[in-house]
Each structure stands twice: as structure tokens, then as C-alpha cells.
Structure 1
């Protein structure tokens, strides 16, 4: 073989070797790219699966929340309807009492409504002689008219609250202080309503609050007169409402 032919063969071999090396590099690069693509694909697959799981979970949670919200809205409507009926009943009762007790307003009687309850407030001068727990005749007449209405409303609960002013009570036999006076006046009214007017005793409660819930805190005779009172609080029974909010 001539030197020229031999050199040509070497040049060809070098060229082939160089091409193989370049091809190998490209192949290695492609393998690396394939590995990266596979890794990326696997990672994306996991992310997609996680996303789908989260979406499914979120969708399920959203559906549950929507169902809970709908249930609460229905419950709210029921409660609002019961309260509406309560207020209607209380308003009707208030109007009946105002008509029945119209003649006693100038003597210190008032009828008001608050928070679904009717408050009949009677000053002590309408019911009792000064320092006494014995109901006078004018007070009895007011309670008789009140009882006529209450006996037609058996679903109404009745709380009788005694209140005094903040002046210390001088010892009056069994009456030791304002607590005693407020309680004993309250029980006098309850006793009259149950024993004389035959209102079912199970409907009534008697409490004494002394001087601690005044209407007017001013240090004047007028304010103290307003604070000395019996409040008869009338509440429609809310059995239906209590069942709803259990």
C-alpha cells in the first residue's frame, strides 16, 4: 500500500472515530434528555394526581359546606318564623292589656313590649300603701282586670318581679331590707293572682330584685317613685323554638 493510500485510510478512520464520538455524545445527551423528560413526566404526573385529588377533596368539601349552609338557612327560616309568631302573639296580648287596663294608666300603670315579652309595670303607689306588702283596693282592681286577660291566655308564662328604690328600709316587722320588701310584695301579687283570680300557679314565678334594676338612676323623688314598682313580665311559651335550637 502506498504511503498516500495508507494516509487516506487513516484520515478516513479518524473521521469515522470523530463521527462516532460525536454520535455517542449526542446519544448520551439524548439519553440524559429522555431521563429528564421521564423524570419531569413522572413529577408532572404526581402533581396532576395530587391536584386532581385536591380538587376532588375540595369539591367534596364544598358540596358538604353547601349542604350544611342550606340546612342552616332552612333552620334559620324556621326559627325566624317562630319568633315572628311570638312577636305577633305578644303584640296582640299587649293591645288586649292596654285596652283592659286603660283606666289605670294615670295611677302609674304602663304596658310595654321588649324582646318578645310584654311588661306590665305598676308603681307601688297603685298597689301598696307606703311600706306595706298588703295590696290596696285600687291595686286589686288593676290586678283583677289583668287576670281577666291572662285567664284567656293559658299559653302565657307570668313572672312577677318586685323592685324598690335605693333608700334603706327601716325595720318594719318582718321586712328587714329592700330585698325583703321586693320579694314579699312580689309574692303578695302572685298570691292574689293564684288564690283570688284562680290563675294556674304553675304559670307564675315570684322574684325580688331590690333596688338593683332601677328605671331611673337620678337622685330625685320622682326617680325613686318610678323605681318602686311591680313588673309583671308575660312571655309566650317557646317550646317550638326550644325544639328548633336543640
Structure 2
């Protein structure tokens, strides 16, 4: 009987208190900010892909310019050598004719001057073309290096997220088959925990088994301070029929997400600024609500882990 008194007291407290307008407004503001952050991350990811494509296209254009310039340089060299040979032949002819005809000498002298002028012009053009070729070569090398750096950073981020997924899966092995899944998609890691692992029906109090799972997850997250942590609460489409403390499924999902955040904050190594809680109600299902199995899948907490993109943004600005 004594063991039931705290539960009875908690029930009375929950049935007699209500969520203040400020708390609810804060939750709505947090959710609005979450949506903005999510859009920003999506835009950054899209901008990243666009920038990478643009950089690769620019790299291809620079390569094409380099190859064209190289071909022009070879043509200039060929013409230059031809003029040198022609000039040599003309000099030999000039020397032979010098003894025979002053008129022929004058004509050959004029032609020789013209050829020398052409030769000098071709030589100057060849020097300018070689300078342009060298400039294009350096530009090509610089862009190639920046694209390689960008690809390396992206690969490093993906590898880090893959390593994080493996660490989380290993830490939560004991909860496999109990409504917990860990996936990596679109450069992010998604940890999904069904409510059967965390909450009783209509409650946002986390059970002992659920607390253990969240704390073990927190131990992994504490070792990854460069990861943004978004906790989303989800429900099925059955309207909430609990006490007057909640206004509906959206309110319930927000409280459940906040409950998970509070457990993670018990770990002092997790930076609070990396944590965001959001309630999404029944509006983001992953299965049909037409069956009990689908409803159970939709009643969940999703922990979405996103790498910070500051380093990638800097490289994009440099390209």
C-alpha cells in the first residue's frame, strides 16, 4: 500500500494541474524554431549538393579550357617551327641570289623582313599563350584541390555518422526487438523508439527500461559534441482522452519529447545547446493508422542526429 502512495500522489497532481499558456507557447516556439532549423539543414544539404555539382562542372570547364589551350600551344609551336624553317630556307635563297640579281635581292629582302615580323608576332603570341596556359593550369590545380577537400570533408562527415550509428547500435543491443531501430539516411542518424519501450498509454513519464535505453544513448552522444540532437515526439491518430492537463496529441508528443531531453540533460557531458525537443503529434506517421501494428509504429520518439556543417560551409564559400 505504501509503495502505491507516490503513484497516487502523482496521478492527483497530474489531474489537478494544467499546462500554462507560457509552457505551451514555448513548446510551439521551439517547434517553429525546429522547423526553421530543419529547413535550414535541408537547404544546407541541398546547397552542398548544388555547390558540389557546380564545382565539378567548373572543374570540367577548366579542364576543357586547359586542353584547348594546350592544343593551341602545340599549334603555335608548330607554326613557329615552320616559320623558322622557312626563314632559314629564305636566308639560303637570299645568299644564293645575292650574287645574281639586285632586284631579286630587294624582293627577297622585303619578304625576309615580312617573315621576320611574322615570326616575331608568332613568338609573342606563343609567349602569351604559354602564360595563359600556365594560369589555367594553376587554376585547374586550385579548383581540383578545393573539390577534393570538399569531397574529403563530406566523406569524413559520412564516415563519422556511420561510426556514430554503429556505436549507438552497439550500446543499445539489449533493446533490439523491443521497439528500437537505428538507421542512417541522408547524412543523418535516426534512432526510433516506440512508446512501448518508453511510456504508458497517455503518459509522458518514462519507464525504468526506457530510462536505461535513453541514458545508454546519452553516453554515446556525450562523446560526440559536434552533433546536433533533435528529439521528436509522435503519436497515432487516436485523439487524446486523458485529463485536462493536455490539449491533445500534439501537446502529449511535445511533453514526451521534453521528457527524453530532460533525461539526456542528466548527463553533464551533453551540451544543452545541442538539444532540441519538438512535438509532431499524429502528423508525421511512418505506417498506416488503420491497423494496431501501424499505430504502434507511429507512437514513437525519434532522435535525429545531424553533423554540424560549419567546415563544409567555409569550403563552399572558398570555391
Note whether the superposition's TM-score is higher than 0.5. yes
1:120 aligns with 2:191: yes
Greater fraction helix: 2
Alignment of 1:164-243 (within 5 A): 164-194=235-265, 196-198=266-268, 199-243=270-314
| Structure 1 position 107, deviation (Å) | 1.2
Q: Quick check: 2:229–2:274 contact (8 Å CA) kept in 1? A: yes
Partners of 1:168 and 1:68 lie apart in 2 by 62
> Where does 1:32-111 land on structure 2 (aligned, <5 Å)?
74-111=145-182
Greater mean alpha carbon deviation, residues 75-84 or residues 145-154: 75-84
Quote how far apart the aligned CAs of 1:172 are: 2.6
Distance 1:72 1:242 in 2: 16
Query: Structure 1 residues 141 and 69 mapped into 2: Cα distance closer, same or farther (>3 Å)?
Result: same
| Displacement after TM superposition at 1:173 (Å) | 2.6
What is the distance in 2 between the residues matched to 1:131 and 1:144?
A: 22
Structure 2 runs not aligned, ≥5 long: 1-128
Contact 1:181-1:210 at 8 Å conserved across structures: yes
Q: Does 1:137 align with 2:208?
A: yes
**Other-structure match for 2:220:** 149
Report what 1:163 is aligned to. 234
Mapped partners of 2:152, 2:189: distance in 1 = 19
Per-residue deviation, residues 145-191 of structure 1 (Å, max 9, x unmatched): 11111111122211111111111112433211111011111111111
TM-score, structure 2 normalization: 0.54
RMSD: 2.2
Structure showing greater radius of gyration is: 1
Provide the rounded CA distance (Å) in 2 between the counterparts of 1:183 and 1:94.
Answer: 25
Structure 1 unpaired stretches of 5+: 1-58
Structure 2 distance, partners of 1:173, 1:132, is: 13
Give how far 1:205 is off.
0.7
**Distance (whole Å) between structure 1 residues aligned to residue 293 and residue 172 of structure 2:** 23
Aligned residues: 185
Relative to the length of structure 1, the TM-score reads: 0.69
- Encode CA deviations 1:17-64: one digit per residue, 9 max, x unaligned: xxxxxxxxxxxxxxxxxxxxxxxxxxxxxxxxxxxxxxxxxx9xx999
Q: Deviations over 1:64-84 (max 9, x none)?
A: 999988766554333222110
